[in-house]
Amino acid sequence: MERSIEAIKSDIFARNAGEPEFHQAVAEVLDSLQPVIERHPEYFELAIIRRLTEPERQIIFRVPWVDDNGHVQVNRGFRVEFSSALGPYKGGLRFHPSVNLGIVKFLGFEQIFKNALTGMPIGGGKGGSDFDPRGRSEREIMAFCQSFMTELYRHIGEHTDVPAGDIGVGGREIGYMFGQYKRLTNRFEAGVLTGKGMTWGGSLVRPEATGYGTVLFARAMLETRGESLEGKRVTVSGSGNVAIYAIEKAQEFGALVLSASDSSGAIHDPDGIDLDLLKQIKLVERGRIGEYVDRRGGRAAFLEADGSVWNIPTDVALPCATQNELDGDAARALIEHGVRVVAEGANMPCTPEAVELLQADPVALFGPAKAANAGGVATSALEMQQNASRDSWSFEHTEERLSEIMADVHDRCRTTAKEYGDPDNYVLGANIAGFTKVVDAMIAQGVV
């Protein structure tokens, strides 16, 4: 059977040549499946793995728009609708120069299992564009978003495909896209996009949800060893919504958060991150991380672009920036300093070598992104629920639901891993729990 799985992997890699991130995501899941395939040979006989790794639909389109100088610009748009076995496709849109089909497919494949783990009725998808919003004017961003939605609108809907934000796509971009969708369809279909503004169908806690959820998952991991976040040293990478709200929640639990970063470098603040200052620089002024040191003073230090927050001695590491940011050398540094928990806030931020090293360490617990950062999409599903009922929940009620969902995700991963003989292996538990939920639905719905 193992040779057959390896043959399937080889076939997938050949059919999807030049997409290393997608290969990495597929291998990470398939390498966990041997035990479940042995128990359920019907999964193999029904070509479930081949079907699951082939997107139901892949959409690539041209996005022309006019910049402030009157020049026509052309970008490429993507939407990969990967699996609708559990519900409408659900997953974010990423605007970043690195976006290509392989990146979108890796993100969409991960989204299938992440969404399944939440227990919510949502399938998996992802999209975006190679457009870079940095340095663009408000008018240029609006022009791009409107052109992007002029094609995308025909492929989405509250019962079909519900995009959200991701890197480069926040409330501003969602607003411009929703306005264009409404204009084109003549419908105020609030449930077609999530991450909306609070006054027109958005959900409280959605901006905070991914970061909050990552910390809730890390706390649950610590509790399995009788520990808490109180007094723990925490290192965080990134300085977008995920990182900032991970810092906020970790501080609420009494942790000392020491770091943040962006593409220009990183900061180390031994006295603990001044969250109000960080929010002002990154969320309000859209500035660079180095400005924090200039305005903070004290012992805060700037690490150049080749510096790493993972060299800072820490108890809990939360990579919240981007894929493959934490490599083998960084994992070795964390292990040397006795890290207790690594929980992925970004999508696949740890390289395969880093994951292997962290899982082999007898001290560290490793929480994969499809479980640890599921809070964002879970709260998006709660936003869909509120839109469907024309309702609006309080911050406290929504955060309570998020806490319940993240506790369930943690317990589902750990229980599944224990069932297969390795209770501390959250990668095994997350992959098998997500996989079985999706494939059981696929089998019930026939060969479609």
Q: Which residue has the higher pLDDT, 7 or 84?
A: 84
What's the CA gap between 212 and 250, in Å, rounded?
Answer: 8
How high is the pLDDT of residue 194? 98
DSSP code, position 256: E
Is residue 241 a known part of a binding site?
yes
In this structure, how many other beta carbons lie within 10 angstroms of the beta carbon of residue 184? Answer: 14
Whether residue 179 is annotated as binding a ligand: the answer is no
Rounded CA separation 264/246 (Å): 20
Alpha carbon distance 354, 362 (integer Å): 14
Beta bridge partners of 367: 343
SS3 call for 443: helix
* Angle CA 259–264–265, to nearest 5: 30
Task: Collect all residues with Cβ–Cβ distance below 8 Å to 167 and sequence separation of at least 6.
Answer: 94, 95, 96, 240, 322
Is the dihedral angle over the CA atoms 144, 290, 213, 35 positive or is it negative?
positive
CA distances from 71 to 94, 95, 143, 151 (A): 24, 20, 12, 21
Please tell me the number of Cα atoms within 13 Å of 405 on its side-chain side.
Answer: 31
Q: Determine the Cα–Cα distance for residues 55 and 68; give it in Å rounded to an integer.
A: 37
**Tokens read off for 416:** 């599944």
DSSP letter for 157, please.
Answer: B
H/E run at residue 129 = strand 124-129
Residue 147: pLDDT band with limits 50, 70, 90 = very high
359 is in an annotated binding site: no
- 279 annotated to a ligand binding site: no
Q: What is the pLDDT of residues 19-69, one digit of tens each?
A: 999 999 999 999 999 899 889 888 888 889 999 999 999 999 999 999 999
Which of the residue ranges 89-98, 236-245, 300-309 would you say has the lowest mean pLDDT? 300-309
pLDDT digits (tens, 9 = 90+) for 205-219: 999 999 999 999 999
* Structure token pair of residue 448: 């479609």
Q: Can you give the pLDDT at residue 263?
A: 87
Which helix (DSSP H) or strand (DSSP E) does residue 3 occupy?
Answer: helix 2-15
| 389 marked among binding-site residues | no
Q: Tell whether residue 415 is among the known ligand binding residues.
A: no
Other beta carbons within 10 angstroms of residue 61's beta carbon come to: 17
Helices (H), ranges, 53-185: 101-117, 138-152, 171-185
- Does CATH place domain 55-189 in 1.10.10.10? no
The per-residue pLDDT for range 221-261, each reduced to its tens digit, is 999 999 999 999 999 999 999 999 999 999 999 999 999 99
For the record, the structure tokens of 386 come out as 């509120």
Residue 214 to residue 371: CA distance in whole angstroms: 8
Residues of the chain with CATH 3.40.50.720: 208-372
> Please, what's the b/e burial string for 159-174 (b: 16 or more CB within 10 A of its CB; e: otherwise)?
eebbbbbbbbbbbebb
39's tokens: 């128990």
The burial of 383, by beta-carbon neighbours within 10 Å (0-12 exposed, 13-18 middle, 19 or more buried), is given as buried
Q: Using N-to-C axis directions, what is the helix angle for 20-30 and 2-15, rounded to 10°?
A: 160
pLDDT at 168 over 60: yes
CATH of the domain spanning 208-372, picked from 3.40.50.720, 3.30.43.10, 3.20.20.70, 3.40.309.10: 3.40.50.720
pLDDT of residue 114: 97
Identity of the residue numbered 137: S
Res 3 pLDDT > 70: no
Residue 172 vs residues 200, 368, 376: alpha-carbon distances, Å: 13, 29, 18
**Helical H segments across 337-425, by residue range:** 352-360, 369-372, 375-388, 395-419
Mean pLDDT of the chain, nearest integer: 96
**What is the per-residue pLDDT across 384-413, written as a single tens digit (0 to 9) for each?**
999 999 999 999 999 999 999 999 999 999
Tens of pLDDT, residue by residue over 177-205, are 999 999 999 999 999 999 999 999 999 99
Q: Which of 255, 246, 99 is nearest to 169 (CA)?
A: 99
Domain with CATH 3.40.50.10860 in the chain: 55-189
Q: How much is the pLDDT for 307?
A: 67
Which of 126, 196, 232, 370 is labelled catalytic? 126
Residue 277 has pLDDT above 90, yes or no: yes
Q: Is 126 annotated in the active site? A: yes
Predicted local confidence at residue 306, as pLDDT: 59
Q: How confident is the model at residue 2 (pLDDT cuts 50, 70, 90)?
A: very low
Round to whole Å and give the CA distance between 309 and 312.
6
Contact (CB, 8 A) for 262 and 289: yes
Judge whether 114 and 30 are in contact, CB under 8 Å.
no
> What is the helix (H) or strand (E) element at residue 261, kind and residue range?
strand 259-262
Q: What is the pLDDT of residue 235?
A: 98
How far is 431 from 428, CA to CA, in rounded Å? 5
pLDDT tens digits, 343-380: 999 999 999 999 999 999 999 999 999 999 999 999 99
Q: What is the pLDDT of residues 102-127, one digit of tens each?
A: 999 999 999 999 999 999 999 999 99
The answer, yes or no, to whether residue 136 has pLDDT greater than 50, is: yes
What DSSP string runs through 107-127? HHHHHHHHHHHTTSS--EEEE
Q: What percent of the chain has pLDDT over 90?
A: 94
